[in-house]
Chains A and B, each alone.
Chain A
């Protein structure tokens, strides 16, 4: 068993006034020790909700219908709040999208890293403070003694995200969930943050669940990629398989819309329409209404996720084993 985390049949719905909206349907995947797993999809596809559910951080109006989240051999779903707080920030930590709002505006940034250490480790404040300083250096911040006492608004976006990362890795977690960690940052800063994440992955052996809407970025970072759509996993394989021979029409669309050198000057492809979730008990392919090749069957039942080619899963009736289905 080299699986750090296995999610089995996860189903999550939201209660809104009278109806339920299903945001995660039958999601199963695992993360191996030390791997970087990519989770791709448009906003609203359920990727963030899936990730929040791992250490029990779902918002109050979310309901987990069923499913198991096995982390290190234990089903986290059975954990009580106290057990969960022992895992959060310690074994599983988060890097959120928006560094400018992820930090408490009224707390010096050093203390926000320190806090993560002192609640999980029984060490003196001085020692903890020392390790904060060395963490800050590790994530590429300079003038750390000074920066420790600064407030978030005095730092740049990139610096803030490095603080968030320092807090996330402070207890040497087994799993880091990075939810769009560079989306809010300038392009020039993005590369540095991605490089840092890779370094930390290599150095500490922490697994990373890398969540992004940007397939190209995920391809750069990850060993394996999951593509999600409207709460469903629609494709899942090694990164190179996904990029070179996508099986699902949606993935195909995503790849076509990646800007590259050869497409320069041409209009970029985009998938028409918007994500719409299936209603409860609605039976059709979630992508059918936007799919250019949809046929009758696509509107009659929900396709299963099947292993079409060994190691390559897809949720589509029409996908065929040959190239570019």
Chain B
């Protein structure tokens, strides 16, 4: 119980820091929005009344609390350019980014976990060198460049399909997956390397444990020892890097959406920055931050839930 409480307080504290930074960045630093709205010729009375209307005449702490209150009500502000609530704009873009992230994470785990286990098995001089080198390269390649290279290979050279654009799931599920698979691979690549490296060490760590020796002494062969004992113990700690992977997948999709012209959150954010649509940027930063924090919190909870050692604490 103490564990959950501590994690909850940590999340709460982080949310406060995030809101404070966002508040100061977007509400205080950019200056007085009234002047830009009314122009420099506006008279004092007009300015004062608009300031009062917008609540800008109040002291900063009060403004902060009101601002947080609005967010809590689900009001993330309104886009200047689209004159629409930020949340509505995000909602239409969400499925794209979401499916990108899900597929990237699935690819990461589906490829990373088996390769991680295998690389622990072949961690001899040559194998270990090879694994180290390949994963280092995966970590070093920028995902957007991988995206460009994939477009070059599959779109330009092999002409398997015309890259870019998004087909929604409800329109055509097969085409939908096809439209996000290459960007997902591009995003997954460095994360696959993270999982392989982490899992390799985790398996090697577990192999030294007494229960492995005990399992061998019972007459299990090395395959069974791996399958029945080592893998589960080695994979559970991977959950702790999952939070990092999810935030790295998110960061990857912000950029890779641009490469494949996918109409997701990333493109919305980049164009909002380009258009200086600050309320939209602000709302999106808040939304993305909260999502990242919430996912991290869920992972912390999940970790303790899956590991029976902690369940009864």
Interface residues of A (CB under 8 A from B): 55, 57, 81-82, 85-90, 93-94, 96, 98, 101-107, 115-116, 119-120, 151, 153-154, 164, 167
Pair B218/A119 contact, Cβ less than 8 Å: yes
Q: Given that A106-B233, A106-B307, A151-B309 are known contacts, is A55 also in contact with B211, CB under 8 Å in the complex?
A: no
| CB atoms of B309 and A153 under 8 A apart | yes
Q: Is the CB of B219 within 8 A of A86?
A: yes
Other A-B contacts than A104-B211, A105-B308, A167-B218, 15 sampled, CB-CB below 8 A, are A57-B216, A87-B219, A88-B219, A101-B210, A102-B213, A102-B214, A103-B211, A107-B229, A115-B220, A116-B219, A119-B218, A119-B224, A151-B308, A153-B309, A167-B214
Q: A85-B220, A167-B218 are in contact. Are A96 and B233 (CB under 8 A)?
A: no
Are the CB atoms of A96 and B224 closer together than 8 Å?
Answer: no
B-side contacts of A106, CB under 8 Å: 232-233, 236, 307-309
| Residues on the A chain within 8 Å of B216, using CB | 57, 88
Report if A98-B210 is in contact (Cβ < 8 Å); known contacts: A105-B233, A151-B308. Answer: yes
State whether the Cβ of B271 lies closer than 8 Å to any Cβ in chain A. no
Query: Would you give the shortest CB distance from A207 to chain B, in whole angstroms?
Result: 16
User: Cβ of B218: which chain A residues have Cβ within 8 Å of it?
Assistant: 88-89, 93, 115-116, 119, 167
Closest chain-B Cβ to A222's Cβ sits at a distance in Å of 21
Q: B200-223 CB contact bits vs A (8 Å, 1 = yes)? A: 000000000111011111111100
Is B219's CB under 8 angstroms from A90's CB?
yes
Residues from chain A with a CB closer than 8 A to the CB of B214 are 94, 96, 102-103, 164, 167
Contact partners of A102 in chain B: CB under 8 A: 210-211, 213-214
By a CB distance below 8 angstroms, the chain B residues around A96 are 210, 213-214, 217
Contact B219 A119 (CB under 8 A): yes
A115: chain B residues at CB < 8 Å are 215, 218, 220, 228
- Provided the pairs A115-B228, A151-B308, A153-B309 are in contact, do residues A57 and B220 lie with their beta carbons within 8 angstroms? no
Residues of B within 8 A of A (CB): 209-211, 213-221, 224, 228-229, 232-233, 236, 307-309, 312
Query: Which of B210, B217, B308, B312 gathers the greatest number of chain A CB atoms within 10 Å?
Result: B217
Task: Report if A85-B219 is in contact (Cβ < 8 Å); known contacts: A102-B214, A154-B312.
Answer: yes
A35 to B180, CA, bound (A): 69
B-side contacts of A89, CB under 8 Å? 217-220
- Are B213's CB and A105's CB within 8 A? no
Q: List 15 A-B contacts (CB under 8 A).
A: A55-B217, A82-B221, A85-B220, A85-B221, A89-B219, A101-B211, A106-B309, A107-B229, A116-B219, A119-B220, A119-B224, A151-B309, A154-B312, A164-B214, A167-B214
Q: How far is the CA of A101 from the CA of B213 in the complex (A)?
A: 10
Asked if A104 and B229 make an inter-chain contact with CB atoms under 8 angstroms apart, the answer reads yes
C-alpha gap A116/B220 in the complex (Å): 8
Q: By CB atoms of chain A within 10 A, which of B215, B216, B218, B220 has the most? A: B218
Q: How far is the CA of A167 from the CA of B218 in the complex (A)?
A: 8
- Taking the nearest CB of chain B, how far is it from the CB of A127, in angstroms? 18
Residues of chain A contacted by B211 (CB below 8 angstroms) = 101-105
* In the complex, chain A residues whose CB is within 8 Å of the CB of B229: 104, 107
Nearest A residue (CB) for B216: A57
Q: A90 to B217: give the CA distance in the assembly, Å.
A: 9
- Nearest-neighbor residue (CB-CB) of B221 within chain A: A85
User: What residues of chain A lie closer than 8 Å to B309, measured between beta carbons?
Assistant: 105-106, 151, 153
Is the beta-carbon distance between A57 and B233 smaller than 8 angstroms? Answer: no
Q: In whole angstroms, how far apart are the Cα atoms of A105 and B308 in the complex?
A: 8
B207 to chain A, nearest CB (A): 10
Distance of A153 Cα from B308 Cα, bound (Å): 9
Provide the bound-state CA to CA distance between A151 and B8, in Å. Answer: 27
Pick from B219, B224, B228, B307: contact of A120, CB below 8 A.
B219
A88–B217 CB distance below 8 A: yes
Bound: A101/B228 CA distance, A = 16
- Give Cα A81 to B216, complex, Å: 11
Bound together, the chains give a CA A154 to CA B210 distance in angstroms of 18
Residues of B near A151 (CB, < 8 A) are: 308-309
Contacts of A101 in B (CB 8 A): 209-211
Residue of A nearest to B209 (CB): A101
Which residues of the partner chain A approach B210 to less than 8 Å between Cβ atoms? 96, 98, 101-102
